Structure 1
């Protein structure tokens, strides 16, 4: 009989005892066999003895219940499959996990994205059969298994197949709608532990896939799983831990981007972007921007021509494009647009501005603001602005000027200017032109310092011949610069040899030089005062206690009024001594201005209303000292005037369709020689104001 020795199934002492017993049995067996050989034990007796021994312990009848488990040890071969699964799962045993055996999916304290779909695990070129089989199709894509709950509603951005699986990843059902579906809500059946999705690449290609719990689409975010910061020990961060340049302006709360989203320092030279596919194509004639961040559905507008553009999503996938955009054309960012590339003529990067909105404003370099101070990639004074309206006017045979000091908000001696255009001459202190032919062209005027463009604007120069027929009239409403009569007299003088007959309207002045000028008056005073400083306000209707143009016209017998021009702003802003103060005043002034214009258009919507851009002050502080003592300084009022001009240009520009026009007087007056005191022109100054008015009026004749 064979002897069975015991191994590590039981502990050592008990094992040794059993082995010793086995040896004893073996010894006795040999002794019994010797007895049979010597004839002392018959064969029958030997067989009977073996039967008795085998009956005591039969093979296969020893179980764990026959063993004292407190003295025994068991390896995994003696455990049931169920117990082994429990140990592999949630059994509370004290074991050391194998290296790399625990993943983030097995951690209970993770922070997860609302989007349950992980694009990194998708299977390209396959779709799901209703039995869960993957079927090859290069136009389709399938997700991996996505953990889910049973009887739970989910929103999916796009899907053609939705399958449900139990905890063993066995298919238990599928959504009955096997067609393409978008922004779809479904509910998982009972016992669902996983979901899988299939859809086509052509299904909403510009929209990333999203699956989130609930019945509404949550804001998109890419899939992630992170360890919640509550479970991570906080570590002190010092300046040494942050590399130089690691924090960009987007990560700060105190820096705000300027309006120009194009950065001329980040361009791809010698390439243009193909507007049909977003690829870069080599061409020495063009340069292209790096990615410009945009917001989907928002409007953007360029100040100069764009050759081509293309939009991309957050993964830099091409969405759509366009070509041949003119200055002022609207660029609308499509759904899911995150980045924009624009291509332009090489060299135009020095003047290109792309800003949010639908109208072009004065050029501003790319940069960020800190407490209203613009920080950009250029050196020098970065608060410079060029203050001109979108359109300026001229007449053949008459001198027209743009004095550089008048159109910036700092001293022109701090800057170098550049004028690009086919018309006129660039002189040391001004651009000047006495055109011989009518024209319609653009001027690009930039302010520079240390060979860097600090500010730039593009204006449309419209030059007309003094043509036309018939007659027209004009009512000028204003302050002391109108009351002096020099401005309106110059208008009459210019029309003396003009084929169009001009009649000035008004209750003040001496016919034919009539007007409605009043010294010290403001926009708001024309609304609120029936009389000021002994001078009656003929526009004030006591029954409504406000400006009423119909009331005025009726009293004066004016059945037809062709043109009205306001010349105001000096008294409105003169006595302000901080930017905040003047800005606050301007808010109210513009509200009143709108009311005055609306009252005129209530009388007749066809009346052309001109809002003159207020002339700047004398360039000399001595003139201010002689006129006002210590009550106001030239630099402070110049600042007020610049803020005012910027605001009225922004408020009234591009409203010609409403018969509202900006009359650009500010650029065409010599503030060094033609201002008599601080703010009032001399005869030559009034002549320049009158010429600017004449240029505007003649722009309507052909």
Structure 2
């Protein structure tokens, strides 16, 4: 029995061994087994699969739309090329150079140019700006140049390469302002009467939205808006009328700093249509009766502000003394309270030019240089303090309203109470700066408060002629306050004052007098010379950041006096 069992088991084991041996024979050898760390190679896939990857099989011969990049083609080159290097892709750079001898004294002193790019003789180059095409030999020697000419059928400038192996395009910055972009491209983007994109004009397909997509538009694209200082952080205002004496009109200048504010004043310069400017920092008021002040970007030459002005210069000898007494009421703040403004204005009008029937009235008296002038110039006063019906309002009881009586504000009552006979024929208002520095009022609020004061005067004396003085800018050497913010408000307040005086309801009664336009901020403020850290060298240090010096007050008085005489 045991022998039978042994023979049976032996046969069974032998068959199992044969089965295992057969299975092992079918397994891959160790040399044929790939480890997990080994990469798949081309020999591991079929030829058909390789064709599918290459896109050469019928089912995959057409790539998906927008799936091929310029770098993967032989017929497209990337052209987006912004000035900001972080935004620049393949293409050619835009560069700048300028005449350092004259800095940015003229529009033509700064030139933009492309890097050189390969060209062949006879190739046509297009640009949306007037410029010059220059071609070079292989050794970088200039072979020839030609100016671009306008092609009205294309709406572009074009030039033809006359030789060499490469070219570049240059142009004055002042010309590169069309639509905010400058581009240069080869003819490959245009063929016959239609472009490759169906437009009849090549210029139609070159804009900020499609330029980077139409990549044959080679060579350069520059976003010129990056060359322009944002005007959102700049303020501009040139008054419509400039008042001065005929005798000194040729010495009157408009400093750039008096008609604009910017974080960097050098971002802009003054250009003019008549007369001339000194290094574009000043506009000289010469013999012309009118001019247009244009403020331009110093880099691009782009115009950011333009306004025509009229010079109203007067020769006092052409005017006669009024036939009867005319009362002059001066209303102001600490600028007037110092006495120089009302006293010097009276000196010019009455003493110098003999308009002796001009009678200054007021409850406050100042004497400067032997001239006494009555006025209502009160230090610290705001517009509110001359119209308030309750002395606890405005700046409070320490700033009582001189026109207030028993809860009523009335100029005729003020005249009667203080023994002034006749009417208020002329009113000179110098107010508003304390509404900025004390109340932090915005421009619209200050304008509305000034309107209330004017209405108050006209309600009693509708024939009164009101001279509204503008504010003056702070000095650049001021180290005590934010000159940029304050002067921005000054320009905007002055603009609002001018608008108020030109309103149809006030234009026959109100005259805006811009005292800031001719104000010399460097010499018009109080300062002293101090040694720097004990050295013998002196430096100019302002001693009052807000109030002008005696000379500064005289500058303002000159403008106000000439305006009064002009409108007598």
> Given that residues 443 and 458 in structure 1 are in contact (C-alpha distance below 8 angstroms), is that contact kept between their aligned partners in structure 2?
yes
Structure 1 residues 376 and 382, CA gap change in structure 2 (3 angstroms):
farther
Query: Where in structure 2 are there 5+ consecutive unaligned residues?
Result: 1-65, 69-78, 81-127, 131-154, 156-173, 178-223, 527-543
More helix by share: 2
- Corresponding residue for residue 335 of structure 2: 481
* Cα distance in 2, alignment partners of residues 589 and 488 from structure 1: 23
- Corresponding residue for residue 497 of structure 1: 352
Deviation (angstroms), 1:602 = 1.7
* Cα distance in 1, alignment partners of residues 400 and 385 from structure 2: 11
* Cα distance in 1, alignment partners of residues 302 and 450 from structure 2: 38
Deviation (angstroms), 1:594 = 1.6
Deviation (angstroms), 1:491 = 0.9
- Corresponding residue for residue 540 of structure 1: 404
What is the TM-score with the length of structure 2 in the denominator? 0.51
- Corresponding residue for residue 697 of structure 1: 564
Structure 1 residues 392 and 604, CA gap change in structure 2 (3 angstroms):
same
1:582-630 deviation per Cα after TM superposition (whole angstroms, max 9, x unaligned): 43xx3333323222211211222111112211111222232x2xxxxxx
* Cα distance in 2, alignment partners of residues 682 and 432 from structure 1: 24
How many residue pairs get matched?
Answer: 324
- Corresponding residue for residue 549 of structure 1: 411
1:145-201 deviation per Cα after TM superposition (whole angstroms, max 9, x unaligned): xxxxxxxxxxxxxxxxxxxxxxxxxxxxxxxxxxxxxxxxxxxxxxxxxxxxxxxxx
- Corresponding residue for residue 435 of structure 2: 572
Structure 1 residues 425 and 597, CA gap change in structure 2 (3 angstroms):
same
- Corresponding residue for residue 393 of structure 1: 243
> Given that residues 329 and 376 in structure 2 are in contact (C-alpha distance below 8 angstroms), is that contact kept between their aligned partners in structure 1?
yes
Q: Where do residues 258-269 of structure 1 align in structure 2 (5 Å cutoff)?
A: none
- Corresponding residue for residue 517 of structure 2: 667
- Corresponding residue for residue 256 of structure 2: 404
What is the TM-score with the length of structure 1 in the denominator? 0.41
* Cα distance in 2, alignment partners of residues 693 and 520 from structure 1: 21
1:447-466 deviation per Cα after TM superposition (whole angstroms, max 9, x unaligned): 43212212221111122211
1:621-653 deviation per Cα after TM superposition (whole angstroms, max 9, x unaligned): 32x2xxxxxxx4333322332332333333333
* Cα distance in 1, alignment partners of residues 456 and 332 from structure 2: 16
* Cα distance in 1, alignment partners of residues 344 and 280 from structure 2: 27
> Given that residues 611 and 663 in structure 1 are in contact (C-alpha distance below 8 angstroms), is that contact kept between their aligned partners in structure 2?
yes
> Given that residues 663 and 696 in structure 1 are in contact (C-alpha distance below 8 angstroms), is that contact kept between their aligned partners in structure 2?
yes
* Cα distance in 2, alignment partners of residues 651 and 536 from structure 1: 27
Q: Where do residues 123-162 of structure 1 align in structure 2 (5 Å cutoff)?
A: none
Secondary structure of 1:524's counterpart equals helix
* Cα distance in 2, alignment partners of residues 592 and 682 from structure 1: 28
Given the alignment, which residue of 466, 469, 474 partners 1:612?
Answer: 469
* Cα distance in 1, alignment partners of residues 459 and 363 from structure 2: 21
Secondary structure of 1:394's counterpart equals strand
Deviation (angstroms), 1:658 = 3.1
* Cα distance in 2, alignment partners of residues 447 and 553 from structure 1: 50
Given the alignment, which residue of 375, 381, 384 partners 1:515?
Answer: 375
- Corresponding residue for residue 470 of structure 1: 321
Structure 1 residues 519 and 434, CA gap change in structure 2 (3 angstroms):
farther
Which is bigger in relative contact order (C-alpha 8 A, separation at least 6)? 2
Structure 1 residues 538 and 429, CA gap change in structure 2 (3 angstroms):
same
Structure 1 residues 510 and 601, CA gap change in structure 2 (3 angstroms):
same
* Cα distance in 2, alignment partners of residues 527 and 474 from structure 1: 19
1:58-78 deviation per Cα after TM superposition (whole angstroms, max 9, x unaligned): xxxxxxxxxxxxxxxxxxxxx
* Cα distance in 2, alignment partners of residues 621 and 378 from structure 1: 29
Structure 1 residues 510 and 541, CA gap change in structure 2 (3 angstroms):
same
Q: Where do residues 159-558 of structure 1 align in structure 2 (5 Å cutoff)?
A: 379-383=228-232, 384-398=234-248, 399-410=251-262, 411-422=264-275, 426=278, 429-433=281-285, 440-450=289-299, 451-466=301-316, 467-471=318-322, 472-495=326-349, 496-501=351-356, 502-510=358-366, 512-528=372-388, 529-530=390-391, 532=396, 534-544=398-408, 547-556=409-418, 557-558=420-421
* Cα distance in 2, alignment partners of residues 382 and 588 from structure 1: 24
Structure 1 residues 563 and 447, CA gap change in structure 2 (3 angstroms):
farther
* Cα distance in 1, alignment partners of residues 411 and 294 from structure 2: 39
1:207-266 deviation per Cα after TM superposition (whole angstroms, max 9, x unaligned): xxxxxxxxxxxxxxxxxxxxxxxxxxxxxxx9x9xxx99xxxxxxxxxxxxxxxxxxxxx
Are 1:641 and 2:490 counterparts? yes
* Cα distance in 2, alignment partners of residues 388 and 517 from structure 1: 27
